[in-house]
Chain A
């Protein structure tokens, strides 16, 4: 029982990271209206950016946040101009294939320049463990959960209250109407895409700090987790996507508790497929929310 409770705590903190990935993914999909396969690679770039900053500049968590945000923002710009900008009017499979292409490109370049092996992440956070009854909660887990909540709050404020947020929402709903109202669709969509990518980068940093390792090929399964969580939440709704991420994190860790760690991904994808069968619209309350 103790073990299960602790796995639940692990699940929640991991789920928080997945939630951030899912939020960032649904921002990207919401703004561009097209599914992307590059998200895992963006996450990986964020992780490596913070890794190099920690190694060469210093163990400063805030600096790591900024570095991973900026690095993945820049990658987001590249992705935007290669995959989306020209293809809003074309059939959607073209940009889909482009994202597959650029994801292959980033992954393989990263393997060449960062090395194919696992690297140990530096110990940025003083890893204290708090004990509450039978529960063990580490400092890292607390920081992760707080970070994710704060970032989600900032994003929600940005989208709902600011001028730029309103522009983003118009673009995500109807690009033609937005452009008729004088919104620069291309630039707004790019910024929305980059915000999503930046958040993904931060989540990449968080997960590599949490597990204390990172690897050039880590993007593949993480990108799919981000997608699965986002699908669980109805794909474009950020709040439900966060919920989906949390659910996948918990399911994974509880699944590990009853079997072995090598089946981690099987639980995540199995859960996704199950949800798609039972309730195709995910957690979202609105029916027909699928793009």
Chain B
């Protein structure tokens, strides 16, 4: 098994473009393999949550700001798309980035007051913000439909083809996830990504090197919130109906648990987390009330055994300071000698 993996890895290193092509072809062929719309529905969910978890991972994993109320930005994106397409007849494809920008602006508003404080305050403010947004969605009946929600959200048009089936949504979600992974992998490898990582690892040192921590934290938060907005905008026409119960704190926790289980600080982690959690959801459907219990236990076990998650960055502060321990052990040895 390991041999196979290493062979694949060598092949990938040699022929990057070809392997990307093969992977893409496989992904494009998935709808042909699973013609049942039930299974395609699950795969759609996996992709949607991969996008959400990926966006959250940018915040929690790459700059170790700890956002908990991520559902708020998802909510903002979904309502922006729904309201603008219902009231103003805007095109879906234009609304994707617009919703993202709305969510990113909200993200900026949330993180501005907490930039000077330690990260824990940001967690709480996001939590409170998530509740505020949900309550506004629930109570501002004039704009959001209140408890009745918004019905009949128009389906998007792709060069005259109406996108309705779960197979065609599969391609939309897949496209978004690929764009997200592509953009984020490039950002992470640039100066901006390095600045984020330096803030995660040691904020004091980062500042002494001239990294404007406030600016880069805000940028990081906005980038993460942007993708939640995009995901929300893609989700609204997919279900064609939204109300405030879709965007509770539990939804935020759900996304967070995907990031934690899959692993923070890597691109592949949240995708894996989304696959694991969504498949678990399907498997645990018979005992649906224990589903969240199972997640909770999984999260705790993960923190005890592998704090960085399944595919998380083991070479980082996220994994719980293992180098430090080694160093201490060495120092102890030296004292003994």
Contacts and interface: CB of A to CB of B under 8 A. Distances in A.
Interface string B313-337: 0000110110000000000000000
A269 B129 contact: yes
Interface stretch (A58-66, A95-103, A119-127, A169-177): A95-103
B304 A35 contact: no
Contacts of A272: 124-125, 128
B189 interface: no
B245 interface: no
A100 B256 contact: yes
Given A104-B253, A105-B300, A266 B117 contact: no
Contacts of B120: 35, 92, 96
A93 B66 contact: yes
Contact of A35 (B112, B123, B135, B249): B123
Nearest to A230: B124
B53 to A, nearest CB: 14
A68 B257 CA distance: 30
A210 B290 CA distance: 31
B123 A101 contact: no
Contacts of B114: 276
B320 A104 contact: no
Interface in B246-271: 249, 253, 256-257, 260
Chain B interface residue bracket vs A: 35 or more
A221 B256 CA distance: 19
A91 B318 contact: yes
Contact of A102 (B127, B249, B256, B296): B296
A276 B110 CA distance: 11
A224 B124 CA distance: 8
B161 interface: no
A226 to B, nearest CB: 11
A265 B132 contact: yes
B299 A291 contact: no
* Residue of B116, B249, B257, B303 with highest tally of chain A CB at under 10 A: B303
Given A93-B66, A224-B128, A290-B118, A82 B300 contact: yes
B292 interface: yes
A96 B123 contact: yes
A86 interface: yes
A273 B128 contact: yes
Question: How many residues of A sit at the interface, in one of the four size bands?
Answer: 35 or more
B64 interface: yes
Contacts of A165: none
A227 interface: yes
Given A100-B253, A265-B131, A291 B296 contact: no
A266 B289 contact: no
Contacts of B303: 94, 97-98, 101
Contact of B124 (A100, A109, A228): A228
A273 B139 contact: no
B321 A100 contact: no
B293 interface: yes
B253 to A, nearest CB: 6
Contacts of B135: 262-263, 265-266
Interface string A245-282: 00000000000000010110110111011001100100
24 contacts: A35-B123, A35-B124, A90-B320, A93-B318, A96-B123, A98-B300, A100-B299, A101-B296, A102-B296, A104-B295, A105-B293, A108-B292, A111-B289, A112-B289, A112-B290, A221-B131, A224-B124, A228-B128, A262-B139, A265-B131, A269-B131, A272-B125, A273-B125, A277-B113
| Complex A-B, nearest 4 residue pairs according to Cβ-Cβ distance, in ascending order | A269-B128, A101-B299, A105-B296, A104-B296
Given A101-B300, A111-B289, A260-B139, 4 more contacts: A91-B317, A91-B321, A101-B299, A269-B128
Interface of B: 64, 66, 68, 112-114, 116-118, 120-121, 123-125, 127-129, 131-132, 135-136, 138-139, 249, 253, 256-257, 260, 289-290, 292-293, 295-297, 299-300, 303-304, 307, 317-318, 320-321
Interface of A: 35, 37, 82, 86, 89-94, 96-98, 100-102, 104-105, 107-109, 111-112, 220-221, 224, 227-228, 231, 260, 262-263, 265-266, 268-270, 272-273, 276-277, 280, 290-291
